[in-house]
């Protein structure tokens, strides 16, 4: 018998160290469980290594470059060349990532979580075999949390080659700014990276299959973004169905049928961002008896439990909104349930954020969703043009919109497009969680001059008494 | 429509005490359920 055949026994095994997995491991350890976490790659998962963090670092760098180029608008004259050093930019971004993944490692260690590197495969409902280049080891567990995340979905007609046909991961590591970049897919990932590269100097074309950018997002929010894209020189082609493409030397040509017409688009690179696929296909889930839905996501109940009692799933692999904060939230629920607490997935408002230009953020119900749910909604919109801070930042495009119930004035949803929308949405999420009404928001003193004042004023607008706009009567 | 008006901590308290929030009579504005309401409801269940 080989040594590796002796199974190690653990309390809780967590598969995957992304924002779901590592948070689950820490919370379970906080509650006194003996926890082992397995990951085949770097700690921090997609979010830290090739998602949220690196993309936001690139977006920030691109924005800074734009600010320098446009500094003369506010009377700052920059003489000499302002250049983008892409290898240095990528190196800086990698440094940010390294700092954070290092942080995850010390948090896991500080909580006495055992870290194992390797690929996990179920060998039964209570055991997993973890293998890496050097060895293989079987782990027996009482409970397991599956947090294997997702990966970029591939287009069959335009498969990734990692050189010219790029996934979002590849696009975050380019050593040069493309002269021309074709983006297939106008969802938030394509839009965010496309905008960043456009700001860094690329001529960007976005091909979107549906009728508008950001399908699923309120069109009133995307209108402002589309206008800015045009200003940036980005070409947006909607109703473009990609048929295929060819790489010829240093170029890639994408063929698409646009409203029935055959067209071609050529770039130095093509980024394919058409969605994400759950990592549930190479885990041996059938051996464990875990059920998937028709799209390959693991089915869970409101306590993150799969159809097998002691097997839990969280984050992207369990479907729903593929968001890091949703994964981390579920992680705590799963870890607490395993530790004997009666936690459930129970939230009133999920924040959605898109780091477009300007940023989009929303939570709760839109006006039409509120109507569908039987409310009689009132909508109040306040423009950043009327906010002193936004004007002083030279970033006054956009608005804050509050949706409230007409009778009780209860806050139902908030939609924002504008500067720091990603930050502003937090107050709205909290207000909705607390069951606040528009008056509660209006009666809260907001510091002046700050962007959050727009929320207070939009809330006052619900009663027709906002100060810095003429109210509709 | 909104199920029950209650803060996240109140919703968690109700779960911990095994109280069904929708059965609790809220005494706050617009029927908002407070921690006190949850505890009072629990007492009525036990008497």
Shortest distance between the Cα of A409 and any Cα of chain B, in A, equals 10
Average pLDDT along chain A: 96
Q: Does A103 touch chain B (CB under 8 A)?
A: no
* Cross-chain Cβ contact B15/A344 below 8 Å: yes
Q: Is A448 annotated as catalytic? A: yes
Distance CA A424, CA A443 (A): 17
Q: Identify the band that residue A276 occupies on the pLDDT scale cut at 50, 70 and 90.
A: very high
* Cross-chain Cβ contact B12/A374 below 8 Å: no
> Where along chain A do the CATH 3.50.50.60 domains lie?
8-152+277-339, 165-274
What distances in angstroms separate CA A377 from CA A367, A373, A374, A407, one per listed residue? 6, 10, 9, 9
Q: Identify the band that residue B46 occupies on the pLDDT scale cut at 50, 70 and 90.
A: confident
Please state which of the four CATH numbers 3.40.50.620, 3.30.390.30, 2.60.120.10, 3.40.50.20 is assigned to the domain occupying A351-463: 3.30.390.30
Shortest distance between the Cα of B45 and any Cα of chain A, in A, equals 19
Distance CA A299, CA A314 (A): 10
pLDDT score at B1: 47
Cβ density class A316-334: b for 16+ within 10 Å, e for less: bbbbeebbbbbbbbbbbbb
Restricting to A residues 10-49, those with a Cβ less than 8 Å away from any Cβ of B are: none
**CATH says A165-274 is which class?**
alpha beta
A206 contact partners, CB below 8 Å, separation of at least 6: A183, A185, A186, A190, A191, A194, A213, A229, A234, A235, A236, A237
> Is the pLDDT reported for residue B17 higher than 90?
yes
Residue of B nearest to A375 (CA): B1
pTM for the predicted model, two decimal places: 0.96
Q: What is the pLDDT of residues A19-53, one digit of tens each?
A: 999 999 999 999 999 999 999 999 999 999 999 99
Chain B residues inside the 8 Å CB shell of A437: 29-30
pLDDT score at A1: 44
A341, A412, A435: residue with CB nearest B6: A435
Q: What percent of chain A has pLDDT over 90?
A: 98
* Cross-chain Cβ contact B12/A343 below 8 Å: yes
Interface predicted TM-score of the whole assembly (ipTM), two decimals: 0.92
Q: Does A251 touch chain B (CB under 8 A)?
A: no
* Cross-chain Cβ contact B5/A375 below 8 Å: no
Give, in degrees to the nearest 5, the angle at Cα A130 between A125 and A132. Answer: 160
pLDDT score at A64: 97
Q: Does domain A8-152+277-339 have CATH number 3.40.50.20?
A: no
* Residue-by-residue DSSP string for A343-388: -----S---EEE--SSEEEEEE--HHHHHHTT--EEEEEEEGGG-H
Binding residues of A: 56, 148-150, 185-192, 208, 275, 316
Chain B residues inside the 8 Å CB shell of A347: 8
pLDDT score at B2: 53
Q: What is the pLDDT of residues A307-327, one digit of tens each?
A: 999 999 999 999 999 999 999
Shortest distance between the Cα of B19 and any Cα of chain A, in A, equals 11
């Amino acid at each position: 018998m080989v040594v590796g055949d002796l199974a190690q026994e653990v309390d809780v095994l967590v598969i995957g160290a992304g924002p779901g997995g590592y948070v689950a491991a820490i919370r379970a350890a906080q509650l006194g469980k003996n926890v082992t976490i397995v990951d085949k790659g770097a700690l921090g998962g997609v979010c830290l290594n090739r998602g949220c963090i690196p993309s936001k670092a690139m977006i920030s760098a691109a924005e800074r470059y734009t600010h320098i180029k446009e500094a003369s608008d506010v009377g700052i004259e920059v003489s000499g060349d302002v250049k983008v050093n892409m290898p240095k930019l990528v190196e800086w971004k990698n440094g940010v990532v390294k700092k954070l993944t290092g942080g995850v490692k010390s948090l896991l260690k500080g909580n006495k979580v055992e870290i194992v590197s390797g690929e996990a495969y179920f060998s039964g409902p209570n055991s997993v075999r973890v293998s890496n280049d050097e060895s293989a080891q079987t782990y027996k567990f009482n409970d397991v949390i599956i947090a294997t995340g997702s990966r970029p979905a591939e287009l069959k007609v335009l498969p990734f080659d990692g050189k010219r046909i790029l996934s979002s991961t590849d696009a975050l590591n380019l050593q040069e700014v493309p002269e021309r970049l074709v983006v297939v897919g106008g969802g938030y990932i394509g839009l965010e990276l496309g905008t960043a590269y456009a700001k860094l100097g690329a001529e960007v074309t976005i091909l979107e299959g549906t009728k508008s950018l950001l399908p699923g997002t309120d069109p009133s929010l995307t209108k402002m973004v589309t206008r800015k894209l045009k200003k940036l020189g980005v070409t947006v082609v909607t109703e473009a169905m990609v048929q295929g493409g060819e790489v010829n030397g240093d170029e890639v040509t994408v063929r698409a049928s646009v409203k029935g017409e055959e067209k071609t688009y050529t770039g130095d690179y093509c980024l394919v961002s058409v969605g994400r696929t759950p990592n549930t296909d190479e885990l041996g889930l059938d051996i464990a008896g875990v059920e998937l839905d028709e799209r390959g996501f693991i089915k869970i109940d409101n306590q993150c439990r799969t159809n097998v009692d002691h097997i839990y799933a969280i984050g992207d692999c369990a479907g729903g909104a593929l968001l890091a904060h949703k994964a981390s939230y579920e992680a705590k629920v799963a870890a607490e349930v395993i530790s004997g607490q009666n936690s459930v997935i129970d939230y009133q408002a999920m924040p959605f954020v898109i780091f477009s230009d300007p940023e989009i953020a929303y939570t709760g119900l839109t006006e039409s969703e509120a109507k569908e749910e039987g409310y009689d909604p009132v909508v109040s919109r306040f423009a950043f043009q009327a906010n002193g801070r936004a004007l002083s930042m030279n970033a006054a495009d956009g608005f804050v919109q509050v949706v409230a119930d007409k009778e009780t004035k209860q806050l139902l949803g908030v939609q924002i497009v504008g500067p720091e929308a990603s930050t502003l949405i937090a107050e709205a999420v909290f207000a909705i969680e607390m069951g606040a009404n528009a008056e509660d928001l209006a009666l809260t003193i907001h510091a002046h001059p700050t962007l959050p004042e727009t929320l207070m004023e939009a809330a006052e607008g619900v009663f027709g008494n906002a100060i810095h706009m003429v109210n509709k009567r | 429509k909104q199920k029950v008006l209650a803060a996240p901590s109140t919703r968690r308290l109700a779960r911990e005490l095994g109280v069904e929030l929708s059965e609790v009579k809220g005494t706050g504005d617009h029927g908002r359920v407070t921690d006190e309401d949850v505890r009072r409801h629990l007492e009525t269940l036990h008497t």
